[in-house]
């Protein structure tokens, strides 16, 4: 990584998409324009629950910029943009080092077997097994599932969001772990970092030890997180909340 370090980012926004960066187009444009105009070596990172093609579809539909780093599948895959690539369609490459770290002890088939035995779960149809995700009919069902995985001794990270979505990730995965890895490998040591989110799958990222903003429209599931020196609760919604958070930490 040494040769890369001179290129490393000095400023980074690591933001969730749905309900955070995406939701108010005008505020989104204002935020990105402000950051691009005022900060050089600025790295735009999306950290989302969506899978890669789903993000690409969203980018096409909403005219979002393509990020420098794209973390998909709730923090289980890191895609890095190759700025020199002339082929726009396959300009992202997967960070294989992270991928290998992540897949250690990963047992998607065993998780699926247990999931099948629990009423009230519907498996999400996804293109691969880098995570195993479900829709749950209640938080009780989610709790039952989590207990069953623990009893079966299956190492995992359990993420419950929006009162409905369950993501089972490899134990070392998740938005928080992915962000720590990215900061370590792609940012300068003194870099300004801001993480931003609105729902349950952002919890680990918000608590990951970097300055973080919870946007004003966040779901009640984040209400239990207390404000602190590193955590700011914005009143502004969506991207306006992110900009408010950036000003809070960096003036």
Nearer to ligand GLC, 74 or 193 (CB): 74
Q: How far apart are the first and last CA of the chain?
A: 31
* Site for ligand GLC contains 165 (CB under 6 A): yes
Binding residue (CB under 6 A) for ligand GLC from 28, 74, 77, 132: 74
Smallest Cα–Cα separation from 19: which of 215, 180, 171, 150? 215
Nearer to ligand GLC, 197 or 211 (CB): 197
Give the 3-state secondary structure of residue 226. coil
45 binds, among ligand GLC, Mg ion, none (CB under 5 to 8 A by kind): none
30 binds, among Mg ion, ligand GLC, none (CB under 5 to 8 A by kind): none
* Site for ligand GLC contains 115 (CB under 6 A): no
95 binds, among Mg ion, ligand GLC, none (CB under 5 to 8 A by kind): none
Smallest Cα–Cα separation from 68: which of 87, 86, 84? 84
* Site for ligand GLC contains 172 (CB under 6 A): no
* Site for Mg ion contains 199 (CB under 5 A): yes
* Count of chain residues binding ligand GLC (CB under 6 A): 9
DSSP letter (8 states) at residue 164 = T
DSSP sequence for 75-135: TTEEEEE-TT-S-GGG-EEE-HHHHHHHHTT--HHHHHHHHHTSTTEEE---SSSSSEEEE
How far apart are CB 229 and ligand GLC at their closest, in Å? Answer: 27
Query: Are residues 123 and 69 in contact, defined by beta-carbon separation less than 8 angstroms?
Result: no
Binding residue (CB under 6 A) for ligand GLC from 110, 124, 129, 188: 124
């Amino acid at each position: 990584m040494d040769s890369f370090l001179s290129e490393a980012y000095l400023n980074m926004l690591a933001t969730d998409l749905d309900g955070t960066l995406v939701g108010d187009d005008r505020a989104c444009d204002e935020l990105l324009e402000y950051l691009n105009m005022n900060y050089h070596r600025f790295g735009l990172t999306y950290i989302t629950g969506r899978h890669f093609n789903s993000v690409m579809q969203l980018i096409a539909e909403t005219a979002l910029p393509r990020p420098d780093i794209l973390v998909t599948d709730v923090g289980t895959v890191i895609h890095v943009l190759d700025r020199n690539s002339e082929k726009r369609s396959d300009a992202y490459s997967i960070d294989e080092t992270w991928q290998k770290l992540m897949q250690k002890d990963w047992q998607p088939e065993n998780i699926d077997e247990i999931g099948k035995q629990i009423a009230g779960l519907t498996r999400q149809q996804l293109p691969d097994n880098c995570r195993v995700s479900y829709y749950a009919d209640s938080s009780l069902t989610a709790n039952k599932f989590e207990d069953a995985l623990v009893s079966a001794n299956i190492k995992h990270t359990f993420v419950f969001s929006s009162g409905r979505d369950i993501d089972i990730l490899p134990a070392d995965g998740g938005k928080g772990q992915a962000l720590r890895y990215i900061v370590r490998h792609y940012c300068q040591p003194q870099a300004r970092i801001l993480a931003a989110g609105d729902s349950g799958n952002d919890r680990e990222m918000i608590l990951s030890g970097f300055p973080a903003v919870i946007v004003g429209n966040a779901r009640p599931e984040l209400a239990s997180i207390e404000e602190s020196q590193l955590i700011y609760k914005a009143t502004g919604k969506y991207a306006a909340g992110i900009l408010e958070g950036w000003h809070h930490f960096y003036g």
